[in-house]
C-alpha cells in the first residue's frame, strides 16, 4: 500500500475503529504479531518505541511486513521528538504517533507529508494539534483523564475533532461501546491485545485469538 496522507490515515482508522499497538525486542517476534493482526483484518498498526535499539528492530520489521503482509501500514509510536521521527521514518514508518504534543515534531511531519498523531490531555492541546494538521488526535491517558465522559464533554463544543482515546481502552464490548458512544474516531489498544508475556512465551496463537475477537466485537457493536 502507498503510504497514506493524513486524510487517508484518518479514514482508514475510522473504518478500522482500533489502532493496535505493541512493542518487542526482535523483528522475528514482531512479524508474528503483525501476521496475527493482519489475519484478523487490521491494516494499520503502531509499533511503539519503548526499548533500546527499537529503530533497528523497526527497520527489519517494516521490510519483512512489506514483503509478507500486503496492504499493511506500519507506524511508529512513542516518538518524543523530531529526531526520533526522522529516524523511524527513514526506517520505514508510514506515520508517527506520540504521547504528547511536540510542535517541532509536528512541523517536521507536516513539511514531509508524514501523518502525525500527537497525544493530548487538554482541550487547548487538542485544538493546537488540530490546527497543526494532526491526522488523528490521541487522547492520553484517556481513562485517567475521565474516560468516555471526558471525551463526550470535549466533543460537545468540538464535534469535528478526530479523537483517539488510548490508555485504559479494553477489548470488551461494553468498554468499546462506551468510547464510541462518546464520539471516539477510533481507539488505541495495546497490552490488552498484545502483551509482553505472550510475546516472551511466543504464544502468538493468543494474539491471533484476541485480534479475531476484537475485530468481531468492533463489527458487532455497530
The residues that are catalytic are 46, 138
Axis crossing angle, helix 147-155 with helix 173-181, rounded to the nearest 10: 20
- The 3-class SS string of the chain reads CCCCCHHHHHHHHHHHCEEEEECCCCHHHHHHHHHHHHHCCCCEEEEECCCCCHHHHHHHHHHHHHHHCCCCEEEEECCCCHHHHHHHHHCCCCCEECCCCCHHHHHHHHHHCCCEECEECCHHHHHHHHHCCCCCEEECCHHHHCHHHHHHHHHCCCCCCCEEEECCCCCCHHHHHHHHHCCCCCEEECCCCCCHHHHHCCCHHHHHHHHHHHHHHHHHCC
Nearest to 217 by CA among 43, 80, 17: 17
The gap from C-alpha 23 to its chain's centroid, in whole angstroms, comes to 12
Amino acid at each position: 500500500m502507498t503510504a497514506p496522507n493524513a486524510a487517508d490515515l484518518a479514514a482508514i482508522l475510522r473504518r478500522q475503529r482500533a489502532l493496535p499497538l505493541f512493542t518487542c525486542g526482535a523483528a522475528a517476534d514482531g512479524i508474528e504479531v503483525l501476521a496475527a493482526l493482519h489475519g484478523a483484518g487490521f491494516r494499520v498498526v503502531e509499533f511503539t518505541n519503548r526499548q533500546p535499539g527499537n529503530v533497528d528492530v523497526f527497520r527489519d520489521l517494516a521490510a519483512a511486513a512489506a514483503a509478507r503482509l500486503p496492504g499493511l501500514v506500519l507506524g511508529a509510536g512513542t516518538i518524543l521528538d523530531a529526531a526520533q521521527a526522522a529516524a523511524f521514518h527513514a526506517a520505514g514508518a508510514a506515520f508517527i504517533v506520540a504521547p504528547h504534543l511536540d510542535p517541532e515534531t509536528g512541523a517536521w511531519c507536516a513539511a514531509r507529508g508524514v501523518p502525525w498523531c500527537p497525544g493530548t490531555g487538554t482541550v487547548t492541546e487538542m485544538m493546537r494539534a488540530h490546527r497543526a494538521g494532526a491526522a488523528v488526535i490521541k487522547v492520553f491517558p484517556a481513562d485517567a483523564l475521565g474516560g468516555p465522559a471526558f471525551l463526550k464533554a470535549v466533543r460537545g463544543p468540538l464535534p469535528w475533532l478526530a479523537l483517539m482515546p488510548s490508555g485504559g481502552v479494553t477489548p470488551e464490548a461494553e468498554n468499546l461501546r462506551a468510547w464510541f458512544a462518546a464520539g471516539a474516531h477510533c481507539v488505541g489498544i495495546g497490552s490488552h491485545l498484545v502483551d509482553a508475556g505472550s510475546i516472551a512465551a511466543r504464544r502468538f496463537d493468543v494474539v491471533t485469538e484476541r485480534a479475531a475477537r476484537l475485530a468481531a466485537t468492533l463489527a458487532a457493536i455497530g
